[in-house]
Amino acid sequence: MHIKTVSTTPIEGQKPGTSGLRMKTRVFMQPHYLENFVQSIFNAIGGIEGKSLLLGGDGRYFNQQAIQTIVKMAIAGGASHLIIGAEGIMSTPAASAIIRKFKTNGGIILSASHNAGGIDEDFGIKYNLPNGGPATARVSDRIFAYTLEIDQYQIADLDDIDIITIGETTIAETRIQIIDPVADYAELMETLFDFDAIRELFKSGFRIKFDAMHAVTGPYAKAILEGQLGAEKDSVINAVPLPDFGGGHPDPNPIHAHQLMEIMYGDDAPDFGAASDGDGDRNLIVGKNCYVTPSDSLAVMAANAKLVSGYRKGLKGVARSMPTSQALDRVAKKLDIPAFETPTGWKYFGNLLDANKVTLCGEESAGTGSSHIREKDGLWAVLFWLNFLANRKQSVAEIMADHWKTYGRNYYTRHDYEAVESDAANNLMDGLRGKLAIFPGHTINGLAIIHADEFSYHDPVDGSNATAQGIRILFDGGSRIIFRLSGTGTEGATIRVYLESFEPGPENLDQKPEDALADIIKTASQISNLEELTGRTAPDVKT
């Protein structure tokens, strides 16, 4: 076997975001682009020689070709052991679980998560740490630093390996293990949930519809929901992973999961509906004629954790990203457990989980997880709901009504303005920063501003600091508006506006969210000059 040393030069723009490096697929397919970034990962972790690595992805276009390249680079670098999901498939939560189970030196996950896939759409790559979680800011900074000075990479000159057939082979010093991507994850789920109780729920006539959105969770959901738990045949729809996700956008929200929403709001709707995204780490929960916002889902899960077999001892604490609604905080207060508010990005939960400060965590962008792994986990969240539904024997709508009666209701929505010209987006944020000192004390549309700031975070575990994490406008009574630029798109800038209004009850708990939030929405537009600065009269996506 011949190992080639290839001369290269730095490529501009390879700075990892909150979830690794995401670009258009054709960008990754350029000569040296993928190789430069992979070599920079290897350099940042002290080289790959003698180390073990997990490889897998969500099956989007270019997934298998990228894996072949990474395998050849790892062999050239002297890796001792590569674990690869058959056909290159591995959900992000399963990857985290397998990294932890086999104690690898980390893993490389190929995904752009909920972004569309295809040759003209998006691709992504990220490095996960040996704890199974996303690279910390420090590690990401090291990777980026190496991308700025790289001048060569090594790659083995050999034919593509078989990544379809489960089994093992050895090439040079590297043992290559092709595994069933579902088996270890399913085994872990069975230790966390009362599968017998869920089986009885399905036997009672309870019906579910799970939309895998032609993404990675299809094989997982088929194996667990239909295979192990006995949900009726075809409970899982769009179950076959496709390179372009069937032309759809694998983001589990009411807009993109419209087929599921039509089923759940149609005649003869099932009792429970759910969906997951491109790489399987996000979730959508919906009952019969009852959409559950991700923020509410997180709060309800915390409130019902003791009804779930793996969480009967209670929660050490909970954590949410700053833009996520404050519904979780109200549950934590009643349970008398700590509640942490972190920046957006799952990596910020990792330290809290490793330090055993929290058990459950989540974010408004449909990610929920716990201490079982170090990533958010879409199918796990579905099983969590099914477990406490089996015990409560109530409908989703009844559970939500009970929850709001107990804790009050945080009406909540997020408006996304996508692919905004970057200068316009930055001007909007700069304009808000310039007003932070003068906002408090003003009343707009009957809403009294009591505080305004740009969120920063001091990590209580490692002492690190994160600044410029979003602009917050807080109102008397618990309502909020938050403005933030997202780092998950590949074109221009995405402006995200988070809108929250608290209703303590007992009245006004069943309003339409758009009615309850009308004054907040109007106020957000006025104080930001969004329409004037961006030319946008309406968001591209509302969730």
User: What 3 state SS string does 384-447 have?
Assistant: HHHHHHHHHCCCHHHHHHHHHHHHCEEEEEEEEEEEECHHHHHHHHHHHHCCCCCCCCCEECCE
| Beta-sheet pairing, 167-171 with 174-179 | antiparallel
Which residues are known to be catalytic? 113
> Across-strand partners of 126?
109
Give the tokens for residue 534.
Answer: 């961006």
Asked if residues 374 and 353 have their Cβ atoms less than 8 Å apart, the reply is yes
CA distance 169 to 267: 53
CA distance 99 to 374: 10
Query: What's the chain's Rg over C-alpha atoms?
Result: 23
CA distance 268 to 266: 6
> Across-strand partners of 369?
361
Asked if residues 361 and 352 have their Cβ atoms less than 8 Å apart, the reply is yes
Strands lying side by side in the sheet with 367-370: 339-342, 318-321, 360-363, 367-370
Give the tokens for residue 72.
Answer: 């050849």
